[in-house]
């Protein structure tokens, strides 16, 4: 080999390097071959036996909460945000925190729940099925789950590989969900698609007593993109879809984690500059022009903290979570619930509303 005798140290070193190169190359091939997207317009299983219809002119509450896959306690920082951790602290702490989240949500007494970052089977969360925990807790409500991440085993960071992840978003309703569907939104076609989720939103159809339909959207849009237009395309697709349902005479509410600054410039409200964080871009308000929809985002406290370090009052915060409602829905109140980021890197957001007759 290259003129070196058998057993020569350089010859052996070259062999080792070639083996390592084959391993790394094989892993890269595995990651790209394993990548797939869930087909669009996938019908979702609806669980539960509610027979209640929603009424007009009655006040209801909807809550949206990115649960941070149960790991983001106040002392947690995440490697993809510049922090340290790639797994939850421990299986025991994770299960305790997920149960605390479930108990907290139950205490809010909401009629509709939109949860994001719910792990089903993931290395980072010790394979604890969080979806099952929430379904057991809210067994008296109808529910539908949409998968938005089924990743191959990621060997990064090397000291504690993030591993394999199966996760998604889940919608709960005190009312009868007649059907639910998953819509795949645009994602990047570059290598960035490997580290982003299989972004989507779900649509749940709820009958009303006046013979119409309330369509509830649960969403978790892209954060880590090299091309910001992808996130704008996701919002445009969502609004086009909502417009179609509205034109059919439906009431329409969307809620979740937009991964965009819904206040335009959260630093004006919370006093912490976000100029060093390229992902915290304002939502494109032009997309709403000429449409029968209103963006609803509270500014009483932030809904998100940057997870580059454990939570502290000087940390960059903003509002990424909120709602979009059609003009046949009256907004009674809207607030971000101040948990001091006790359970997640997000605070939950709530909205009280009425359907106009």
HEC string of the chain? Answer: CCCCCCCCHHHHHHHHHHHHHHHHHHHHHHHHHHCCCCCCCEECCEECCCCCCECCCCCEEEEEEECHHHCCCCCCCEHHHCCCECCCCCHHHHHHHHHHHHHHHHHHCCCEEEEEEEEEEEHHHCCCCHHHHHHHHCCCCEEEEEEEEEEEEECCCCCCCCEEEEEEEEEEECCCEEEEEEEECCCCCCHHHHCCCCCEEEEEEEEECCCCEEEEEEEECCCCCCCCHHHHHHHHHHHHHHHHHHHCCCEEEEEEECCCECCCCCHHHHCCCCCCCCCCCECCHHHHCCCCEEEECCCCCCCEECCCCCCCCCCCEECCEEEEEECCEEEEEEEECCCCCCCCCECCEEEEEEECC
20-36 pLDDT, tens digit each: 777 666 656 656 666 66
Is residue 1 located within the same domain as residue 148?
no
Is residue 156 located within the same domain as residue 187?
yes
pLDDT of residue 333: 98
Does the structure show a pLDDT above 90 at 341? yes
What is the count of structural domains for the chain?
2
Is residue 257 located within the same domain as residue 115?
yes
Instruction: Collect all residues with Cβ–Cβ distance below 8 Å to 292 and sequence separation of at least 6.
Output: 243, 246, 326, 327, 328
Does the structure show a pLDDT above 90 at 151? no
102-144 pLDDT, tens digit each: 999 999 999 999 999 999 999 999 999 999 999 999 999 999 9
Give the distance, in angstroms, between the CA of residue 135 and the centroid of all CA atoms in the same chain: 18
164-199 pLDDT, tens digit each: 999 999 999 999 999 999 999 998 776 665 666 789
Does the structure show a pLDDT above 70 at 211? yes
Is residue 29 located within the same domain as residue 45?
no
Is residue 28 located within the same domain as residue 101?
no
65-106 pLDDT, tens digit each: 999 999 999 999 999 888 999 999 999 999 999 999 999 999
Does the structure show a pLDDT above 60 at 3? no
Task: Compute the half-sphere exposure of residue 15: CA atoms within 13 Å on the CB side of its CA.
Answer: 10
41-62 pLDDT, tens digit each: 999 999 999 999 999 989 999 9
**Using 50, 70 and 90 to split pLDDT, how confident is the model at 248?**
very high
Does the structure show a pLDDT above 60 at 2? no
Looking at residues 283-306, what average pLDDT do you find?
96
Model-level pTM? 0.91
Look up the domain containing 299 and give its range.
38-355
**Mean pLDDT across the chain, nearest whole number?**
90
Is residue 172 located within the same domain as residue 255?
yes
pLDDT of residue 227: 62
Is residue 263 located within the same domain as residue 301?
yes
Round to whole Å and give the CA distance between 353 and 325.
Answer: 9
Looking at residues 252-257, what average pLDDT do you find?
98
Round to whole Å and give the CA distance between 117 and 132.
Answer: 14
Looking at residues 204-225, what average pLDDT do you find?
92
Could you give the percent of the chain with pLDDT greater than 70? Answer: 89
Instruction: Collect all residues with Cβ–Cβ distance below 8 Å to 74 and sequence separation of at least 6.
Output: 310, 311, 340, 341, 342
Is residue 24 located within the same domain as residue 92?
no
Round to whole Å and give the CA distance between 225 and 278.
Answer: 10
Phi, psi at residue 317, to the nearest 5°?
-130, 160
pLDDT of residue 81: 87
Is residue 48 located within the same domain as residue 17?
no
Round to whole Å and give the CA distance between 250 and 241.
Answer: 12
Is residue 7 located within the same domain as residue 103?
no
Is residue 46 located within the same domain as residue 163?
yes
pLDDT of residue 276: 76
Find the CATH number of the domain harbouring 244: 3.60.10.10
The strand pairing partners of 325, in sequence order, are 253, 294
Could you give the percent of the chain with pLDDT greater than 90? Answer: 73
Is residue 11 located within the same domain as residue 77?
no
**CA gyration radius, the chain:** 22
Does the structure show a pLDDT above 70 at 353? yes
330 vs 31: which has the higher pLDDT = 330
């Amino acid at each position: 080999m290259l003129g070196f005798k058998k057993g020569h140290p350089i010859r052996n070193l070259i062999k080792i390097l070639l083996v390592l190169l084959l391993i790394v190359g094989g892993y890269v091939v595995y990651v790209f071959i394993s990548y797939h997207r869930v087909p669009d317009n996938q019908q979702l299983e609806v669980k539960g036996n509610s027979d209640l219809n929603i009424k007009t002119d009655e006040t209801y509450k909807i809550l949206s909460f990115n649960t941070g896959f149960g790991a983001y306690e106040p002392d947690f920082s995440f490697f993809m945000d510049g922090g340290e951790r790639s797994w939850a602290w421990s299986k025991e702490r994770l299960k305790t925190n997920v149960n605390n989240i479930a108990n907290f949500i139950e205490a809010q007494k909401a009629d509709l729940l939109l949860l994001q970052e719910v792990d089903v089977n993931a290395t980072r969360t010790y394979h604890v099925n969080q979806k099952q925990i929430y379904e057991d807790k809210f067994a008296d409500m109808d529910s539908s789950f949409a998968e938005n991440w089924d990743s191959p085993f990621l060997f990064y960071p090397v000291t504690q590989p993030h591993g394999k992840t199966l996760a998604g978003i889940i919608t709960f309703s005190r009312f009868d969900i007649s059907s639910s569907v998953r819509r795949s939104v645009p994602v990047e076609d570059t290598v960035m698609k490997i580290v982003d989720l299989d972004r989507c939103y779900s649509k749940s159809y709820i009958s009303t007593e006046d013979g119409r339909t309330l369509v509830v959207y649960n969403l978790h849009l892209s954060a880590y993109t090299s091309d910001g237009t992808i996130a704008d395309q996701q919002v445009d697709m969502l609004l086009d879809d909502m417009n179609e349902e509205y034109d059919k005479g439906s009431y329409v509410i969307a809620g979740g984690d937009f991964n965009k600054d819904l206040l335009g410039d959260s630093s004006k409200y919370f006093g912490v500059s976000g100029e060093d964080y390229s992902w915290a871009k304002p939502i494109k308000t032009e997309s709403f022009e000429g449409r029968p929809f209103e963006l609803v985002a509270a500014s009483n406290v932030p809904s998100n903290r940057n997870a580059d370090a454990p939570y502290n009052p000087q940390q960059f915060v903003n509002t990424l979570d909120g709602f979009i409602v059609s003009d046949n829905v009256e907004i009674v109140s809207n607030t971000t619930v101040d948990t001091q980021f006790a359970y997640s890197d997000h605070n939950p957001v709530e909205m009280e509303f009425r359907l106009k007759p």
